[in-house]
Amino acid sequence: MAALTPLPLAAIELTGGFLGRLQQANSAMSIPRGADHLERQKAWVNFDNVAAGVADAEYHGPCFEDGEAYKWLEAVAWDAGRTNDPQLLEWLSSYSRRIAAAQDDDGYLNTFVQSGQRAGRYERLAWDHEIFNAGALIQSAVAQFRATGLTGLLETATRTADHLDRTFGPGKQEGTCGHPLIEMALVELYRTTGDSRYLDLARYFVDVRGHDLLDPTHAYGDAYHSDRVPVRDTIVPEGHAVRAVYLAAGATDVAIETGDLQLLDQLRSQWQNMVDQKMYVTGGLGSRWEGEAFGDPYELPSDRAYAETCAAIAGMQWSWRLLLATGEGKYADLIERQLYNAVLPGVSLDGDSYFYANALQVRAGAVATDTRMAAGGRQHWFGCSCCPTNLMRTLGSLHTYLASSSEDGLQIHQFASATIQADLPVGQAVVTMETAYPWSGRVTLTIQDSPRASWGLRLRVPAWATGATLQVGESTLAAEPGTYVHVEKSWTPGETVVLDLPLTPRFTAGHHRSDSTRGCVAIERGPLVYAVEQVDQADAVVVDDLLIDPTILEEEYDEELFGGVPVVIARTIPRQPDPTAGDQVPLPPVRAIPYFMWANREVGPMRVWLPASNPFG
């Protein structure tokens, strides 16, 4: 039923540029350091103790520690597929063997329960993450198979899926996991093996929710577990943000594979309501620390924003599935917004420390009473390491979000320096893309190889890109924001297509229903949301006291800042001008940098939303 088809893993290669350097930093720093952290946390010792049959062995980490190990191993798989690095391949083989050795004969695998932390299996479905861990195992195994062709972990994961299929479903044990993930995993296993049992089980796990089969007694209630309302009746995501969006992504997979248009339409409506009512300007999701949850519509406090990194990653996964299902550019727009402004803030520029929650404001004198708080700066690791491991696997597979194919040609969704090969119905096309995006808005595509028959090339024009143009040969075409510009012809190797996206800095007004942003403006430039950090300001400019003139924005290029960054300059005005004074010396200008770069020098006052004098009249 999908309108678009994802390209094979090896069909897209980042060749440098901004996203290429991100992926390289992930390979060089984040993944190796992740290996060290997991070893120190003794995540793998849990598997070894179970395999060795150690009675009353000490268990290490939270009940979902297996899942964090699997997510890290998925990141290793994506990197191994790109690089064929011997160390990565050895990790895949050795850790896969340790995982397999801990599996029970009937396919059950969960070291928390197997270590004796529970008297039996599936006693606390709402809390113990047994099925979640199985989902992470399946995702890791499918990634390893697709990236490298290795089948060892896939065999282990398939046995686990078979165990779940024998255990859960109509006429069997009723219920599902308190933390969704298995739904996406089972559909990917179905796509990999062709076994429809896994698709049927995924559909069961989607439809069983909202029927009060999980623990309703916890303070956060059924919504926390995505179990208050059936998926097919859900109007807008609620409860724990990561869980709710993972569930929606898995349900979208089910809708695509079963041709369930009614379910797909409901999910599209749910996505739109989330974007309109429950999403930060950064693309961050989840406004309440209590329950790591979505709040009420337009409840989006800047200083108390939770905006968990994992929730933004889940949002990218959901939007990717809706993009493939529909071909509509708004889903690719959100992937871009969340990548640059809600995912990337979660990792430091050197790839070695992380934010769990991503506040949009830190006040002077703020004290971090929790390692997740932005006021404490990025941390090298967390006891719950979901955000670091999730970031690693996302950056490792980042190139897969760039392009897709369909019956009528090739679609470019994200902009990066890359080589793209697509097997189209009329033959193979090879296209290179060169760009300094997101710093520059010029994207040049060169046809390297093409079948003789005509085929279509579609390029996304972001909704913010007013004045965009497309040049094909000697012709320059207007490119309407929020659409895909389409050129269909018989291509000749060497032909170029140039998309120019104006990156003029702009103000965005806060929504009048959101108390935290009413009367405020945010600064954006191209796909990037900007933030004002105290460290960049003159002494007379106090971030906590800003009042912005919302009519003037300029920019300058700072070669010394992080290797070179466009800085946006705003004007600030006194909050209480002296009416008796003569000509007053204007306050120094306000300097804003990309939000994802904040807290890479020091942690101090910062804000995204800036109070404005009479914003937009």
Q: Which residues are catalytic?
A: 292, 386
> Quick check: helix, strand or coil at residue 568?
strand
Tokens of 249: 């992504």
What Rg value do the Cα atoms of the chain yield, rounded? Answer: 25
3-state helix, strand, coil in the chain (%, to 5): 40, 20, 40
Task: State the Cα–Cα distance between residues 331 and 327, nearest whole angstrom.
Answer: 8
Task: State the Cα–Cα distance between residues 141 and 145, nearest whole angstrom.
Answer: 6
- Which residue type, as a one-letter code, is found at position 295? G
DSSP result, 256-304: HHHT-HHHHHHHHHHHHHHHHHSB-TTS-B--BTGGGB--STT---STT
| C-beta of residue 294 within 8 angstroms of C-beta of residue 235 | no
Residue 207, CA atoms < 13 Å, CB-side half-sphere: 13
Q: Reply yes or no: is the peptide bond before residue 32 cis, omega within 30 of 0.
A: no
> Which of 200, 256, 260, 319 is closest to 1 using CA atoms?
256
Which residues in 416-547 belong to E strands, given as ranges? 418-424, 427-435, 442-449, 455-461, 469-472, 475-478, 483-489, 496-500, 506-509, 520-525, 528-533
Sign of the dihedral defined by the CA atoms of residues 141, 147, 152, 155, in that order: positive
| C-beta of residue 456 within 8 angstroms of C-beta of residue 486 | yes
For the stretch 184-218, what's the b/e string if a residue is b when 16 or more beta carbons lie within 10 angstroms of its beta carbon?
bbbbbbbebeeeebbbbbbbbbbbbbbeebbbeee
SS3 of 150-172: CCHHHHHHHHHHHHHHHHECCCC
| C-beta of residue 209 within 8 angstroms of C-beta of residue 237 | no
From first CA to last CA, the distance across the chain in angstroms is: 46
Residue 411, CA atoms < 13 Å, CB-side half-sphere: 24
| C-beta of residue 225 within 8 angstroms of C-beta of residue 214 | yes
